Chain A
Amino acid sequence: ETGVTQSPTHLIKTRGQQVTLRCSSQSGHNTVSWYQQALGQGPQFIFQYYREEENGRGNFPPRFSGLQFPNYSSELNVNALELDDSALYLCASSWRAGAYEQYFGPGTRLTVT
């Protein structure tokens, strides 16, 4: 059984740029959630995708957007990067929306300078 994978591991961007982060869900899972974890804080929910549609969203502006593909992998896109977007971005997969257990990938560390 393949776990959740994310790419890239690290990246550095400049304020105002755009970034795309990628996530492959665990085998058999059809729901992907994205979280932002600032340094020293707990993860904050960005949004969730189920069957290729956004299924719920946290308190993040529209410049945070996503996609889910037919194979249930997902992308997180952030436009017009701000310094405060520097964080660890975690992807979690689960079986169907409404599932209780979410399994996390190792995260992508984004630094905005």
Chain B
Amino acid sequence: GNSVTQMEGPVTLSEEAFLTINCTYTATGYPSLFWYVQYPGEGLQLLLKATKADDKGSNKGFEATYRKETTSFHLEKGSVQVSDSAVYFCALSDQGQGGSEKLVFGKGTKLTVNP
């Protein structure tokens, strides 16, 4: 079945450092790809998405490009802030029976940004 593999964490960076969190996927067809963020004690928030090959999703300085040839959707940010400390999840859409559309998540990568 479809699956997502994320870079193992935790990741610790200093403020203003460059961030990359790797994500690769295995899927039949062409799923939509997402990055969600989970702050401590909270649910998941959609950070960005891409629905087809070569699409670039972006939000709050974060970017990720849907690469079909490498089956990847790596998350990047040029200059992280302390407030970016959270757990980041890569996910893909997987269409199931009856037209349902579930999300398949990676295990998450915990990011800590120090001042």
Contact = CB atoms under 8 A, between A and B. Distances in A.
Interface of A: 4, 6, 33, 35, 40-45, 48, 50, 55-58, 90, 92, 94, 97-107
Nearest to B93: A100
B104 interface: yes
B101 A97 contact: yes
A107 B43 contact: yes
Interface in B67-115: 89, 91, 93, 95-108
A43 B101 contact: no
Given A42-B106, A42-B107, A58-B102, A106 B46 contact: no
Contact of B100 (A43, A97, A103): A97
B45 A104 contact: yes
B42 A55 contact: no
A78 B106 CA distance: 25
A41 B98 contact: no
Contacts of B104: 45
Contacts of B102: 33, 45, 48, 56, 58
